[in-house]
Amino acid sequence: MTFFSVNGLECRHGLLAAVRGVSLAMNEGEILALVGANGAGKTTLMRGIAGAHKPHAGNIVFDGKDVTGLPAHKRVALGIALVPEGRRLFTGMTVEENLRVAGAHGRKGKWNLEAVLEAFPQLKPKLKAKAGDLSGGQQQATAIGRALMTNPRLLLLDEVSLGLSPLAVDQVYESLHGLMSGGTTIILVEQDLSRALAVAHRIACMLEGAIVLEGAAASLSRDAITDAYFGLHRAGAKA
């Protein structure tokens, strides 16, 4: 049964149509990787789903409820959480404060400070450190932990690898592993195609605001995805 869907979504930046007629449907527990070149519209789509960017047309249905008109904080309360590109932590606050503030605004559930620290043990010695003083990997762990504190049912991860060392990326994905196998529905924007193919059940490729290729990760060849990425796909291709 469809748990989450986006139907004919359009998002604009002024006159620019950054997301054009995007439709997606996901079952609970599915992991969808959103890939595409810089400027393809991935971040705008994620922000539209999270309520951080008001759509121009189309709708978003989450667990049977049309959430298109709801502000971001109400979507968080329902269980939609975004880990934004660039992390956007409260850099002057401590790690613990960043986590606790989020916890106060989310749903009740299994995720609390202890559970987040178990998933991201690298944060334990940093709880009292200012978020702005952390390494990139630690900041990313805090940003994901902050989203988890709201007990999301749909987690939106926008380029969690961006700007991190390969070691820090491995560490973040290792921590995400339990979450990914634990039934949380996830959409992740990931530039590393190998990683996207390794963790996602489904792949959707965006080009100039539209989804140009979508299908089960196991059914899509790397070449087909790369072609779609660069706009070399056959028109209307769907796996």
Binding site for ligand ATP (CB under 6 A): 13, 16, 18, 36, 38-44, 85
| Cβ contact 51:79 at 8 Å | no
Distance (Å, whole) CA 48 – CA 104: 23
What φ, ψ does residue 137 adopt, rounded to 5°? Answer: -65, -40
Work out whether the CA dihedral 70, 73, 75, 81 comes out positive or negative. positive
Q: Give the residue with the Cβ less far from ligand ATP, 45 or 78.
A: 45
Instruction: Tell me how far, at minimum, the Cβ of 129 lies from ligand ATP, in Å.
Output: 28
What φ, ψ does residue 10 adopt, rounded to 5°? Answer: -125, 130
Q: Give the residue with the Cβ less far from ligand ATP, 38 or 194.
A: 38
Look at the block and give the residue holding tokens 């560490």. 171
Q: Give the residue with the Cβ less far from ligand ATP, 79 or 84.
A: 84
Instruction: Tell me how far, at minimum, the Cβ of 13 lies from ligand ATP, in Å.
Output: 3
Instruction: Tell me how far, at minimum, the Cβ of 85 lies from ligand ATP, in Å.
Output: 6
Q: Give the residue with the Cβ less far from ligand ATP, 8 or 86.
A: 86
Instruction: Tell me how far, at minimum, the Cβ of 157 lies from ligand ATP, in Å.
Output: 13
Instruction: Tell me how far, at minimum, the Cβ of 60 lies from ligand ATP, in Å.
Output: 16
Token representation of residue 212: 């140009």
Instruction: Tell me how far, at minimum, the Cβ of 162 lies from ligand ATP, in Å.
Output: 8
Q: Give the residue with the Cβ less far from ligand ATP, 16 or 216.
A: 16
| Cβ contact 202:25 at 8 Å | no
| Cβ contact 189:43 at 8 Å | yes
Q: Give the residue with the Cβ less far from ligand ATP, 94 or 191.
A: 191
Rounded to the nearest 10°, the torsion over CA 154, 73, 52, 9 is: 60
SS3 state of residue 65 = strand
Q: Give the residue with the Cβ less far from ligand ATP, 123 or 206.
A: 206
Work out whether the CA dihedral 162, 167, 173, 175 comes out positive or negative. negative
Look at the block and give the residue holding tokens 């620019």. 16
Instruction: Tell me how far, at minimum, the Cβ of 168 lies from ligand ATP, in Å.
Output: 19
Pairing between β-strand 31-36 and β-strand 16-27 as defined by DSSP bridges:
unpaired
